[in-house]
Structure 1
Amino acid sequence: MERWNHNIHYHRVVLDAVPVGARTALDVGTGNGLLAVDLRKIVPEVTGIDRDADVLRGARREDPAVHWVQGDVLTQDLAPGSFDVVASVATVHHLPDLAQAFRRFAELTAPGGVVVTIGVARISRPPEALMQVVGAVQHRYLRRRHTFWEHTAPMIWPPAHTYAQVKRVALAELPGARWRLLPMWRYALVWRKHPGPRPQAEPVGD
């Protein structure tokens, strides 16, 4: 049976943002591990990290080739700049400090790599409410076409922050990031880390 829900629906946004030639990826708050498994299809080395030991036991059965880590991404001993992709789906609202979370994601991203966040937040403005009306229609249509699958990972609802608050913090911590409001109660944030200066050519002697 093909599994579908709102989070799985937006895995494609993450996969489409993966840089060409990416070798390493980190799935933050991997939960049942489905995003890590999808990333593993196009990225050779994938790490899925989550604080919840119970859901990780199930995630390990999804793909033993993924490196599964029980821990907190904010404090776990992970080498800065070691991931070409740092991705999260419906995870950021579980973390205690938005600014700290986005800074940590940037720290872990390799030069030329990408941070991709699919998140949830609270509605506070009319355009957001209108988008979610569209999302409700989309949800009904897609639910008729697919069998809705429920994650076993813990949920937090309602989220602590509004869309506007998350956007403001994210763009302050990740300058140049692209932000999109999505139907079905989600947003997408994509930020590419500057690749750094090109190596200087050696001077040519006379």
Structure 2
Amino acid sequence: MMKKLLAIFCLIFLWNYIVYSQDNRVFNPDLNWLTIEEARNVPPDSVFHLTLKKEKLSGEELPEEIFQYRNLKSLSLRGTKITTLDEKIVNFTQLTFLDLGRNRLPVFPVIICRFQFLETLVLHRNSLNYIPAAVENLQHLKHLDLWETPVMNLPEEMEKLPELEYVDMRGINMNPETQEQLKKRFPQVKLELDPPCNCFR
């Protein structure tokens, strides 16, 4: 009985570790991430990396006070339950890292494509099922995280992105043909894919 309980405990621990490590793999621990509460204690111009992942927002509204941090380079809205993006977010003209993972986005927020310096875009665990052609405006995009989204393909416009290095499409069921097509179209990009399946035959 004890052996069974120990085995169950180990499986639960391993599962939590895998999920946690997957969900936090894009955060750079060397950055000085601030919460809203911490950001209030420093001059707005000195806030460069802000996380709202402990906040529970609704719809598209973001706390008005965050828009004073115009020097933001990194913004995490992970797990805040947003369904779209407030248009004021374009005020963050220096943004290079945007984490929208684990939200309720039904479509890709096209407003993101106005961040001309964006290098890393995290969209995992959202309901969006396509990437718009406007993504070609993200000329500095290097890393795109689509883990466990319904996105089955990447637009032709992404082939023109000169700095694209990495796209995470794990957790997306694809047949071998679809995976091979993606690899041929993006030969210089590291595509993270699960083993192919025959689920669409």
Q: TM-score range by the shorter chain?
A: 0.3 to 0.5
Q: Which has the higher strand share?
A: 1
Structure with more contact order per residue of length (Cα contacts < 8 Å, sep ≥ 6): 1
TM-score (structure 1 length as normaliser): 0.33
Could you tell me the TM-score, scaled by structure 2's length? 0.33
